[in-house]
Amino acid sequence: MFIKLLALVALVVLVTVGVLAANKPGKPAAKPSPGCDTMCTVPHKKTAKGDFEVVKSDAEWRKTLSQDQFYILRQKGTEQAFTGAYWNNHDEGVYVCAGCGATLFASKTKFDSGTGWPSFYMPISLKALHTEKDTAYGMVRVEVMCGRCGGHLGHVFDDGPKPTGLRYCINSASLKFTSAEPASEKK
């Protein structure tokens, strides 16, 4: 009886594994996407400092960044929830990297996540960001970095709203908000 049960359990496990394997895409998504898709949660390969367009020494970064910005952008720190400048900002405009000024997120993709950090469901473009697997603190997360200077921005999770289902959880200190020009607003 016990053996039969064991065999049954083994069969169920095998079938489940088989189904999961069958559902896996055969090749990584390589086609360009106009918006954001699952590519955003696929970590890019580990990069060296020199892989980014903007490379500065820590001493140079300290000259242009505040203490908080340096701690978060360059030392992968995290600001306290509900303390940053932008978690509750609802103005229209764009968010650029506080380190290098690269345009990262648009206000129209920002949503209230309730986490106390600015949250977006997609970046301005996939190229704007660099992502890497982050296993710090016993968690497996996907770190989001500025694609231009490699500054740490936050993490991306797959529990976001439609249309992408992604939640880019970003530190306010990593961003600088710029209001939209009234002239560029569509009526």
Give the residue numbers marked as catalytic. Answer: 169
Which window, 5-13, 41-49, 96-104, 135-143, contacts Zn ion (CB under 5 A)?
96-104
Tokens describing residue 60? 């140079």
Instruction: Mark the segment that binds Zn ion (CB under 5 A) among 13-21, 64-72, 92-100, 116-124.
Output: 92-100
Cβ atoms < 10 Å from Cβ of 139: 8
For residue 153, state whether it binds Zn ion (rule: CB under 5 A). no
What backbone phi and psi angles, to 5 degrees, belong to 132?
-140, 150
3-state secondary structure string across 82-124: CCCCCCCCCCCEEEEECCCCCEEEEHHHEECCCCCCCEECCCC
Shortest reach from residue 130's CB to Zn ion, in Å: 10
Binding residue for Zn ion (CB under 5 A) from 72, 96, 100, 156? 100
Quick one: DSSP state of residue 158?
A: S
Q: With binding defined as CB under 5 A, does residue 148 bind Zn ion?
A: yes
* 95 vs 121, beta carbon nearer Zn ion: 95
Task: List the beta bridge partners of residue 9.
Answer: none
Closer residue to Zn ion in complex, CB, 6/55: 55
CA distance 44 to 133: 8
- And the tokens for 138? 């016993």
Stretch that binds Zn ion, among 32-40, 86-94, 124-132, 139-147 (CB under 5 A): 139-147
99 or 160: whose CB is closer to Zn ion? 99
Q: What is the contact surface with Zn ion in residues (CB under 5 A)?
A: 97, 99-100, 102, 146, 148-149, 151
